[in-house]
Amino acid sequence: MEKEQIIIDCDPGSDDALAIILALHSEKIDLKAVCSVTGNGALDTTTRNGCNILSLCGRKDIPLYRGSGAALDEKIPHTVSAFGDDGLGGYADTILSDKIEERMHAVDFLVEYVNDHPGEITLFAIGPCTNVAKAIRRSKEFAGNLKRLIIMGGSKYTGNMSPVAEYNFWADSQAAHEVLQAGIKEVVMIGLDVTNKIAMDCNMREILRILDTRLSTFVYNITKEGLDDNWRSRRKAVSPMHDVLTVAYFIEPSILKLKPAYIDVVTKGIAKGQSIVDINGHWNNGDCNALYAYEVDVEEFYRLFFKTVFGEDITEIR
């Protein structure tokens, strides 16, 4: 099977870690590079976590490019993460490695690599969109040369930073707006409307503990703080898994149901970071700039995640 080339732009982050881990275990994916951005921690934290996650999976050969430490407006977004101070639920120190980042800046890398491989690269934006927006500003060809952009961000019906705003779009709303307006051929917005539904419950986490491998134990550990945070703030005993759904969708598109939509992001005021999702471009002369994910097959997602990463058939062990 010919693998598809992808780049992950992210702010690891426990759920970013899961996305990288799933990508590295898929026979459909050739992960070319990881780029870091501020989000689930300061840039030093997300960059170091990215290097260490690649090492944990035995892929020190995959380059990590350090990206933007602040949003387009040069302000550093709020980086208090549901995954704790180190972004990995207090377990970042359990995967320390000697892998070092590349010297090139993430934005320079994105522009160079995507323009050298026109129509070949699927880019995942699973942190604030700053690096991607800067690449679009930097190069006229960049947006047109992307094969596809898969974003974890936004939502139609809910928020996690305000009643209406999701974190990645809120943290750099101008960047999210510019990315959505850039004319990229295929943009898939996978937001809270579906990612909230795949939050991991305690039974599922228990399977990770029982599997008792270094990787399953790591995933068990880094999902603990998210679970505790959800319990403290919402009385829900589930752990956020948002970003991993982007990679699961790429591997098995039938996991999500999508509708064409015209999507834009509010950049100022009380609704800053809100994504306005106009299904079928009803209010926009029928023009659409993205695909909006409105439904997820949760069973199928977990079947795919456990099978791909751990080789276990969840339907048999549950």
Q: Which residues bind ligand RIB (CB under 6 A)?
A: 11, 13, 15-16, 39-40, 126-127, 152, 160, 166-168, 242-243
Q: How far is the CB of 292 from ligand RIB (least distance, A)?
A: 16
Query: Of 21, 85, 5, which is closest to residue 56 (Cα–Cα)?
Result: 21
Residue 160 interacts with, from ligand RIB, Ca ion, none (CB under 5-8 Å by kind)? ligand RIB
Could you give the strand order of the β-sheet that contains 275-279, starting from the edge strand earlier in sequence? 64-66, 29-36, 4-10, 122-125, 148-152, 187-190, 290-296, 256-265, 275-279
Q: Which of 13, 67, 84, 226 binds Ca ion (CB under 5 A)?
A: 13
CB-wise, 83 or 302, nearer to ligand RIB?
83
| DSSP for residue 165 | B
The CA-based angle 128-138-260, given to 5 degrees, is 55
Rounded to a whole number of angstroms, the distance between the first and last alpha carbons of the chain is: 30
Residue 167 interacts with, from ligand RIB, Ca ion, none (CB under 5-8 Å by kind)? ligand RIB
| 106 to 135: interface string for Ca ion, x by CB under 5 A | --------------------xx--------
* Bond prior to 13 in cis (omega within 30° of 0): yes
Q: Which of 6, 7, 16, 177 binds Ca ion (CB under 5 A)?
A: 16
CB-wise, 11 or 278, nearer to Ca ion?
11
CB-wise, 86 or 312, nearer to ligand RIB?
86
Greatest extent of the chain over all pairs of C-alpha atoms, in Å: 54
| 214 to 243: interface string for Ca ion, x by CB under 5 A | -----------------------------x
In sequence order, the β-bridge partners of residue 125 are 9, 151
- Residue 141 and residue 43: Cα distance in Å, rounded? 27
